[in-house]
Structure 1
């Protein structure tokens, strides 16, 4: 049996790197005041059709949808924000003190073409802020995103920002795009030919080479911003500058989801393949309302963890790996073997990472195992030492060995382990 295409096994040795990222996420979101939310792996398909947008590549081509035994259409979540919005509405979080600041970490699913750093099951870290339309919230989520990358050690990142406008000023942009692409129909892919009349904004996100070429002369959102959107975008830039965050305004930047309004942003890193974006997000002031909730502004981002790990590997950043056991308990003699379980329990209860032999090896073989596992200390339980109420403790780095009273073993080791 083999795993399906586009998924990955994350094995011991690699899982520790994931756990490190997750620790950084949890500590960083704590100091920023975000609280964790965990939503279902699958939702009713309609949520993503309404929330993400029926004309997006995600909904049209990439969702894993199926029918349950009652014939209802369900979909493995292709992104995190729509599910968080549904939970926000269904559980009455709009009644909480505003703004509500949430984050999530978990797997997403898209039937995409597998390539380096891009899988059909992938993992995202996302953050969402509900209940404020102020530019400072846009800047805060961007600062949180950039701080995450800085803490894990990524360098040379490029933050690009844009404004895709509100629903009002976007009408003029849609009209201009429709007129422009009607005259370029011969160069568009089949999907974008349909989008010309249905939703020309989605053409701006197309990855087909022919469409990308036509986009070079296409109208851009910045040229059609109303006064309110223009002021908001200027305030976001001012706030980012005050925070010391460098950015580049990219007037052609749009995100691959229909719910974005106003600010949009992406973080790019060179050297990880053709698609160099490793995270991004934006404002979605109409999404809660679209999904059946009260009018509630929102802004957030999502980070691809696989692509983050790939970028770290490309830059040669070493993340903490598997920790060696701090202590290995060995024994010599049948009576000594009977003491090992109690000693193990006491050490582990004290928070000391402890291992033992499971194969009936002699003392020499056990010491070899301790060395292979890179244990710092070996507790040797011998029958003569037991008669004196002691155990022997060997420092593996120096070979120095001393006897320690068994009742004082935990405190003796914790002192030397820096606990």
Structure 2
């Protein structure tokens, strides 16, 4: 019987995984500069957390979650996104009591959604996200957006488009909600069943419908920007001012609606305009969610964050033909001739690695010529040749593979010799 990988998942093999490591390390370094600290939450949570935190009317909760009963009959869900878990931990561990606020967190890890697999979109995918909890300052909104843009630009992406919108405060959203219901209700039977359900649950979600996006009522739907009160307008203008001060270009799109129920005030998406990237251009999305901590049993806490798929980021890099500066070379390859030399090479290799050198040797009993070919495949900077004759004289021949020069050094000094050269 042969086994195959489940649909919508992938094996990331050596040669490819180094790209992931580079991107993830770049994200970690950037978060450190912005003073966001890593949080690691469980891969599964109680289903109710996502139902309340993500929103009952969302496609994620209604159609895409991997949910099962554990042995005691409790409903458990593999996490479909990272924000709800992060805020749950923030509340449960009372991070809001720390004297220094806001609490700035980031995460990198696998998420799970049952959706149709396509280029850059999988059922198990890796998400990087940040959350800033505890501040109502529009400057933190601009900081979060700037961090996301900074990551893409640091990795070399140029075909980027930042789109922002305001969903307003509770008062503004209530007025907009009533206007949306009045707009869609007379002809709601012309829309899909999902939209008919959303009309009373969360009519804003109708604007995000993929099936009915070409319906004429979508074009004439009232814009949230028409219903922003003075406080919401001032807040949104401040965010724009800060982005402008950071030299970050953006477009205001009144039609931008994030797919999760907990958003208010600032919402944003970053898209790729790269040729050949695909029909789905969104790379990253996020926004402010001032009521989420309260919804899951915590104190009233403002928050803002974003999440992005590492898979889609790598796909964007490929679309723009950007080569990451990844090297697979090693410092030294030890070539041996003779049984005694082969035995001595085992401990020599161990000593090299303990000294911080990236080193390798042959384990297939190859001839000397084949060992040199193996050294080439490893892109070895130096090759150390040890035969029984050299072992008897307590020396080892070290060859610089770039220049072709070779010299003998004592076995005891070979590590310090290589270290000084490298």
Instruction: Write out per-residue CA displacement over residues 171-213 of structure 1, whole angstroms, 9 at most, x where no aligned residue.
Output: 1111110011113324311110121122211111111145665
Q: 1:53 to 1:212 in 2, by over 3 A?
A: farther
In structure 1, list runs of 5 or more residues that go unmatched.
Answer: none
Residue 384 of structure 2 aligns with which residue? Answer: 379
Distance (Å, rounded) in 1 between the aligned partners of 2:216 and 2:101: 44
RMSD across aligned positions (CA): 1.3
Aligned-residue offset at 1:17: 0.2
1: CA distance, partners of 2:250 / 2:56? 31
Cα offset for 1:386?
2.2
What is the match of residue 4 of structure 2? 2
Q: Residue 78 of structure 1 contacts residue 110 of structure 1 at CA under 8 Å; is this kept in 2?
A: yes
Task: Give the whole-Å Cα distance in 2 for the aligned partners of 1:212 and 1:381.
Answer: 76
- Rounded to whole Å, the distance in 2 between the matches of 1:107 and 1:372 is 33
The corresponding residue for 1:79 is 81
Q: Does 1:411 align with 2:416?
A: yes
- Structure 1 residue 173 corresponds to structure 2 residue 159: no
Question: Is the CA contact 1:324–1:375 (under 8 Å) kept in the aligned structure 2?
Answer: yes
Q: Which residue of 2 aligns with 1:234?
A: 237
Tell me the SS of whatever aligns to 1:331: strand
Q: Compute the displacement of 1:374 (Å).
A: 2.0
Alignment of structure 1 residues 8-87 onto 2, 5 Å: 8-87=10-89
Q: Aligned pair 1:299/2:312, yes or no?
A: no
Distance 1:213 1:331, change over 3 A: farther
Shift of 1:384: 2.3
Unpaired stretches in structure 2, ≥5 consecutive residues: none
Partners of 2:15 and 2:326 in 1: CA distance: 6
TM-score (norm 1): 0.97
Structure-2 separation of matches of 1:2 and 1:387? 52
Q: 1:212 to 1:257 in 2, by over 3 A?
A: farther
Q: For 2:315 and 2:362, how far apart are their aligned partners in 1?
A: 36
Measure, in 1, the Cα distance between the counterparts of 2:299 and 2:80.
24
Give, in whole Å, the separation in 1 of the partners of 2:121 and 2:177: 31
Aligned partners of 1:187 and 1:211 also within 8 Å: no
What's 2:393 paired with? 388
2:395/2:410 contact within 8 Å kept = yes
Pairing partner for 1:248 from 245, 248, 251: 251
Is this contact kept in 1: 2:163–2:270, CA < 8 A? Answer: yes
| Structure 1: distance between partners of 2:287 and 2:375 | 51
Q: Check the 8 A contact 1:16/1:320 in 2, yes or no.
A: no
Equivalent residue number for residue 323 of structure 2: 318
Residues 343-380 of structure 1 show CA distances to partners (whole Å, capped at 9, x for unaligned) of 10111112111111011112222122212322121111
Aligned counterpart, 1:142: 145
C-alpha displacement at 1:387, in angstroms?
Answer: 2.6
Could you give the per-residue CA deviations for residues 14-34 of structure 1, whole angstroms, max 9, x where no partner exists? 100000001101110011101
What are the within-5 Å matches in structure 2 for residues 206-285 of structure 1?
206-210=209-213, 213-270=216-273, 271=275, 272-285=277-290
Alignment check: 8 A CA contact 1:283 1:298 kept: yes
User: Does residue 287 of the first structure (1) align with residue 292 of the second (2)?
Assistant: yes
Give the SS at the match of 1:183.
helix
